Structure 1
């Protein structure tokens, strides 16, 4: 593991964003939300699995127990606006640490478990699909077997690792693709008991650059091969490292440092808005803007208390980094009062490779489980299913209760089935042709290395400890 230690240098920023970090270690039952089976009843049971049903054949163990050919395919930023608005391709916040450590305020305000659902509850997966088709209108949708997120894939990974956590998510086959759609008790469910500095730290140590001002989160999509399937996975990205980028390194750093009084005032205002309730009126608007940095610069972030001189427990973090294919991990230790003197920027590629090699049996079970779910979804005549796990060692596949809910609106379902072509975004502003790296393969791995590295989204613990997940994308776990 290559580690860079920052005692706190660079320029401060109050850029508004949904940070992660946090003070929890791993998943605890205290952090788990009870699934509301009264508000959302379960449908007809089709089949159930335990881990003993997922034992791999020795002949296929090595073949499926790895992620291969991972590459960036799309991204977008959620933007603070009067109606639901995304910016495509967007850009994650720039790592811009303080020149001198200063005391930060504890986290406060409202934070949603699922920002995609909170901002666009009708079809939380729609923004990701629109971003993908905006960047590449002829994207080969028929080749995609699984379209998931850090939360749904992370829940399955926890199950095969025998982590005791209940979860549920919707499943729908659209064309050849089986969509996994995260499901909370309520799309605007907030996280109780927020504490620590998992939000205020990234607000102070990362910067939304001028081209993506008023952004609130960066969502990225990668595609990789796993277990014989081609998967597209969405997740939330905490930021990127300028010193690891070969593209306009000086310009990026300079942009991050040029924040005047007006920008600071705007950032303070945006922070206050962000902690309020997202506006849901109107259709989804798609703007063009931003430029995705190379994936080898992307990082995941957590904060921890350093009072007890104990390093972060990586038990539940390595699985998330593997699933999301993050090459960098930032951990920041505070003194208990909000000042961060020990900040470590770590290259974790080798550590995640080692975790993969040491957990090949669980990873093989994950491949088998995904295969079973995909087959059930493709064979089912009604098409709307749900995965439900009440806890350790039992996973059920059911029909969705009642009429169920689709992953995408009808027009977009038809477009996906027809190969992606045949329409643009709901509202397009500007031109994406000037964005750099849209069609570049950002895979980090040496072509002779069996571990193809790229990042993948947002979660096992409370939201402040998210990497998601973060799905970033999730609110309350490390995936």
Structure 2
């Protein structure tokens, strides 16, 4: 998530405990943390062989109705907090920073230094592993078999910008794990150099972490929802939350005594501990800082981001040379609903592209793939070049695909039954798919449409490609 952007775009947050940073200070400093060595951005590998181009003009008819082009059944799925850069430990469920504004006006020190573009990519070889681990840790009965897409908000946002003919350049990995399309950004330790502005300083002064989470450098929130007949799991960086809107939460994360971690060698696990609490989506806030010289915030740019993340509250803070006197709190849920209705045709195309992307990645599932775009060009599905990357480690791939069982005695092993039997008509006793709704009562069941998963080599199945 873009963290309190000012006149520049960056990620990460500087939390300097109120001290003014100096030019050349170490990047991404935490509260009471020691200076960290500067990280150089690794070289970007060349793009590989083109597999297929996707444009808005060559999409097959996926019969996306107007009602399908809406986000429904939004639920908290998981969350975790990231701490010191020297540690890859995650805190589950963690907790967002609490909105605690000081008295206005407030003169803040400027931001200096280099900032990480992607906290997860910098810490983990597999950036979506902490998302997957936290999903299982917070919900012992979590069933990934009915999830169609897992990715960060940035990757889906890239595709949404393409759909809306907004210029953007990006590339990220795409891979089928079981029945699920994983979208994995590959920024690794990429940094944005020489950041200027007041966004990080604002977060440091206007939000606060609980005592046990003082060293939090990033809070990651995972939600699930239905869109276009697809079940999506979306991760994004969370700026903070309103404590006075900390209402009921269906998930049991806040009451969980122990994390539901699998009985497996520690080499398969990211180090984790339980602390914090899950908070409801209604309390989540997005924070934007802006110089008064640049005028008011353009909501046409912000609403697609808020809609995709389903963030209902926006705080816009205007400053003059770091002096903040105008901080506005705005409930934007109705605005995102209005934006959704006004962009119905674009969102129908967005849903079609997501469905077609699943088809194409299935079709070329024997290859390691990435999705690319340059400027106003088409989507390009390309073969990865150089060292090939995996969406998840082998253990978590098998667990997600249902190919590992967990024995009560602590022994893990391959499942004795087909992991995809609930999706395979040939293996279902009734002859129909037996999908259950992961979010409880989803009207947009993906059984209502048939995709041509031509990678499947089990002719009576025609769906998953893993049952032969």
Q: Secondary structure, in 3 states, of the residue corresponding to 1:52? A: coil
Supply the distance in 1 between the matched residues of 2:42 and 2:248 (Cα, whole angstroms).
Answer: 50
2:353 counterpart residue number? 369
Q: Secondary structure, in 3 states, of the residue corresponding to 1:127? A: helix
Supply the distance in 1 between the matched residues of 2:87 and 2:66 (Cα, whole angstroms).
Answer: 48
1:474 counterpart residue number? none
Supply the distance in 1 between the matched residues of 2:117 and 2:108 (Cα, whole angstroms).
Answer: 23
Supply the distance in 1 between the matched residues of 2:76 and 2:317 (Cα, whole angstroms).
Answer: 27
Shift of 1:237: 0.5
2:308 counterpart residue number? 323
* Aligned Cα root-mean-square deviation (Å): 3.1
8 Å contact from structure 1 (residues 143, 176) kept in 2: yes
Shift of 1:49: 1.8
Q: Does 1:312 align with 2:309?
A: no
- Change over 3 Å in CA distance of 1:360–1:160 after alignment to 2: same
Q: Does 1:89 align with 2:93?
A: yes
- Change over 3 Å in CA distance of 1:423–1:198 after alignment to 2: farther
Residue of structure 1 aligned with 2:165, choices 124, 147, 162: 162
Q: Secondary structure, in 3 states, of the residue corresponding to 1:316? A: helix
8 Å contact from structure 1 (residues 303, 331) kept in 2: yes
Q: How is 1:276-291 mapped onto 2 (pairs within 5 angstroms)? A: 284-291=270-277
Supply the distance in 1 between the matched residues of 2:189 and 2:407 (Cα, whole angstroms).
Answer: 30
8 Å contact from structure 2 (residues 42, 189) kept in 1: no
Structure 2, unpaired ranges of 5+: 11-40, 250-267, 409-437, 445-468
2:280 counterpart residue number? 294
1:339 counterpart residue number? 323
Q: Secondary structure, in 3 states, of the residue corresponding to 1:169? A: strand
Structure 1, unpaired ranges of 5+: 1-16, 27-35, 249-281, 425-440, 451-479
CA displacement 1:444-464 (0-9 Å, x = unmatched): xxx9x99xxxxxxxxxxxxxx
1:105 counterpart residue number? 109
8 Å contact from structure 2 (residues 152, 235) kept in 1: yes
Q: Secondary structure, in 3 states, of the residue corresponding to 2:380? A: strand
Supply the distance in 1 between the matched residues of 2:380 and 2:392 (Cα, whole angstroms).
Answer: 23
1:237 counterpart residue number? 238
1:144 counterpart residue number? 147
TM-score, structure 1 normalization: 0.71
8 Å contact from structure 1 (residues 95, 205) kept in 2: yes
1:390 counterpart residue number? 374
Supply the distance in 1 between the matched residues of 2:333 and 2:122 (Cα, whole angstroms).
Answer: 33
Shift of 1:18: 9.0
8 Å contact from structure 1 (residues 298, 326) kept in 2: yes
Q: How is 1:247-262 mapped onto 2 (pairs within 5 angstroms)? A: none
1:188 counterpart residue number? 189
What is the number of equivalent residue pairs in this alignment?
367
Q: How is 1:26-65 mapped onto 2 (pairs within 5 angstroms)? A: 39-54=44-59, 60-65=64-69
- Change over 3 Å in CA distance of 1:111–1:126 after alignment to 2: same
8 Å contact from structure 2 (residues 104, 325) kept in 1: no
8 Å contact from structure 1 (residues 69, 224) kept in 2: yes
Supply the distance in 2 between the matched residues of 1:292 and 1:420 (Cα, whole angstroms).
Answer: 28
CA displacement 1:30-56 (0-9 Å, x = unmatched): xxxxxx998412222111022222486
Supply the distance in 2 between the matched residues of 1:128 and 1:195 (Cα, whole angstroms).
Answer: 30
- Change over 3 Å in CA distance of 1:81–1:319 after alignment to 2: closer
CA displacement 1:248-304 (0-9 Å, x = unmatched): 9xxxxxxxxxxxxxxxxxxxxxxxxxxxxxxxxx97311111101111010111001
Supply the distance in 2 between the matched residues of 1:214 and 1:38 (Cα, whole angstroms).
Answer: 30
Supply the distance in 2 between the matched residues of 1:88 and 1:55 (Cα, whole angstroms).
Answer: 41
Shift of 1:65: 1.0
- Give 4+ residue runs of structure 1 displaced > 6 Å after superposition: none
Supply the distance in 2 between the matched residues of 1:442 and 1:292 (Cα, whole angstroms).
Answer: 17
Shift of 1:60: 3.1
